[in-house]
Structure 1
């Protein structure tokens, strides 16, 4: 079959009675949890076919247990190079809806006699075009929400937020509480100061439509973390189930293989040589960017803090530069105490005995991974759901605090000391450890997340 890369051995049909298809949105924070869910389902005896775009294409060699199928995405090269997430999502869906390519690929996959019959397709909520193509073929779709339950609850509330005057946001009202969605304030909603608000509104409306028209919703969270938010979604969305099956990275037997960036594993040997509970891990995710001045302030803030640190500095962190040049004298100032790498095996880093805190952009994967290891956070959100995640970290769970405003070296050094060595950081660390225990409970036999996976497998088996 054209476009299919067979990534398994022997008679797949004989080994597996049923098959699931998965189609992640092609950004790192969406790919990871979708492939983790695929791992979980495969571990329960289901064959897995991964559909993926040519944009940020996945490497089938890293997942020999799956079958991979490329799908034309229609994203113009210049737009793909820009990294502009919302325009890419809209362009991808528009191209897929204007073409029969997705329909034809799905039809070909379903007709493949060499594979077990497909029970359903798991998609990202941002792939409404794929849902429409699957529906036309009679293939049930389920949505994996790769963000928090609170974030999706906000998606659903967007029409209300407009009607009640919170949106579009006004500069004078950024700290106004959103009384319908406590503890959020206007500044915590799914917006940034530079957002094209109507474009954001369109993307979120389409994501909500995808979920409402699906057969069920799986959220990468756990019941004890977002009880009220999950209940709110269940009241508002009429689907067969809303399951909290996370943290998926703790359920997946595979910790590597879905990174779009090459991990520098030298950091693990470096961490092995550090004192227990001494290191601050710093990473702002796979998409955030900053200017050279901000990078310099962060560098000197880390240097002036006196704290051991491991800092992820992506080569494209400062757009338009030939690699993110660190300020002159920085290497000398932190010699023996700090390590800078282009990308890290983050789950392993956060679980390491030497790491005691995380300075993060608060994407949901990073937030959930930090909670899972009982680590408190310094929060520096950039866009999308990161402001909302930060608000929950600080005001609901009490496991960190926000570093507001532009990065400034003295403010940074004080924040690091507060997190790593002062009472406020110790209180946050204690609360993070309590949440870590709740993560463990959710993953035990009879725990909420394992029961959610059981229900999901039962539902798939009934299709």
Structure 2
């Protein structure tokens, strides 16, 4: 370590960072990874977390933890749309968060707080306590810019276009089509739009933004961000290249999936997982099932309990399907995804286009089939198909003929070869990014310098 590194290390050892993740799996993972990254840089780490969806705390003996007694039950969450869950969390967390941070702020060693950007109310709390706030955006830069553009897109009439106009381009925001504008299943779209505006406004007031991305992937979007936001941005990802997400998983991972993959041919299997939050109707699950069966390709499929409302697990799949795929398909409730994607048998990944999954697939050079359910997934899938050309987007949603065709294209077709070549090229750039001399490595150094400039410890 050079003299600069030694002085920074000595300085950060006296500084405490308070991190506050949103209690959803796709948000917890990157925040815990970030906590480990910054702890490795010498900072002391305090995590504030809701009791709801709290990961196994014994995995983090090197962190100080404070639990918010949010009083949210699993039944409340399972019967409530996502927008309402976030409002519920906000209402029950703002007071306890303010109290905990106020108690912690008596210790002058706190350099700043780092909160999920969706916790917009934390900006006012931080301002009142005169503590700098940095936000973590767990999505891509491109999708964040799309969220920030929502008022403009609404004014331009894009949000009220007819079904027949869904394939029209969003002229102000290439490469998006109208169907790619972020949407959420909600009974109150106006409240969701107001929520997004508050998130963006609070992000503009923050001291900085951390992104789980890397410069070579989103260079154009980072440049646009710099034009529209005065807040410094730090693209230091992918986080999981520093620390795995396995210890913060809320689901029990079925390791028989790995032993099943061990028996499969190299690059023969398509891995299918739609993340930790997405849901679908029973008929759509059957479209997925028969698309997989008709493709005649081996597959590993994660069917999460709760993926279909009202079902326990596989009881809605027909005996005919289960018998047909018994020798070339394997279904589990949850899988160790990073390990699966790095397995030699995996030749493709059918994903919901969540940002963590997208980065993990790029890291392993695994080409994708792209579905999308809500929010940033709409934007990510379009970028993967049209801009980065590392995936094949299912334009019709979940329809068995298109699914079958896309799987065959990806796994055994010429188009799949092109996509695989593109993602391997991107993987090479990513591999260099977090290493000395790489863009993420330099950005992380800049972030550490930035944090240590906030306040002088006593």
TM bracket (short chain): over 0.9
Change (3 A) 1:295 1:412: same
Deviates more, 1:418-427 or 1:171-180: 171-180
- 1:5-404 correspondence to structure 2 within 5 Å: 16-73=13-70, 75=72, 79-97=76-94, 100-111=95-106, 117-192=109-184, 196-239=188-231, 241-252=232-243, 254-325=244-315, 326-404=317-395
CA distance in 2, matches of 1:179, 1:384: 20
CA distance in 1, matches of 2:181, 2:70: 29
Change (3 A) 1:296 1:172: closer
- Whether the aligned pair in 1 keeps the contact of 2:148 and 2:200 (CA below 8 Å) is yes
Give the superposition deviation at 1:155: 1.7
SS of alignment partner, residue 128 of structure 1: coil
CA distance in 1, matches of 2:320, 2:416: 29
CA distance in 2, matches of 1:455, 1:191: 34
Equivalent position to 2:425, from 425, 434, 440: 434
Aligned equivalent of 1:407 = 398
CA distance in 1, matches of 2:225, 2:138: 15
Change (3 A) 1:354 1:344: same
- Whether the aligned pair in 2 keeps the contact of 1:126 and 1:210 (CA below 8 Å) is no
Q: How many residues align?
A: 444
SS of alignment partner, residue 274 of structure 1: coil
Give the superposition deviation at 1:223: 0.6
SS of alignment partner, residue 308 of structure 2: coil
CA distance in 2, matches of 1:247, 1:230: 15
CA distance in 2, matches of 1:61, 1:28: 17
Give the superposition deviation at 1:16: 3.2
Give the superposition deviation at 1:78: 5.1
Structure 1, gaps ≥5 residues long: 1-12
- The TM-score with structure 1 as length reference comes to 0.91
Q: Deviations along 1:231-286, whole A, 9 cap, x unmatched?
A: 111111122x111111111122x341111111111111221221111110000111
SS of alignment partner, residue 329 of structure 1: helix
Q: Deviations along 1:161-192, whole A, 9 cap, x unmatched?
A: 12222224433432221111111111111115
Q: Deviations along 1:373-403, whole A, 9 cap, x unmatched?
A: 1111111111111111110000001111122
CA distance in 1, matches of 2:270, 2:73: 39
Give the superposition deviation at 1:317: 1.1
CA distance in 1, matches of 2:357, 2:397: 21
- Whether the aligned pair in 2 keeps the contact of 1:175 and 1:186 (CA below 8 Å) is yes
SS of alignment partner, residue 167 of structure 1: helix
CA distance in 1, matches of 2:77, 2:292: 33
SS of alignment partner, residue 443 of structure 1: coil
CA distance in 2, matches of 1:340, 1:41: 37
Change (3 A) 1:212 1:406: closer
Question: Which has the bigger relative contact order, CA under 8 A and spacing at least 6?
Answer: 2
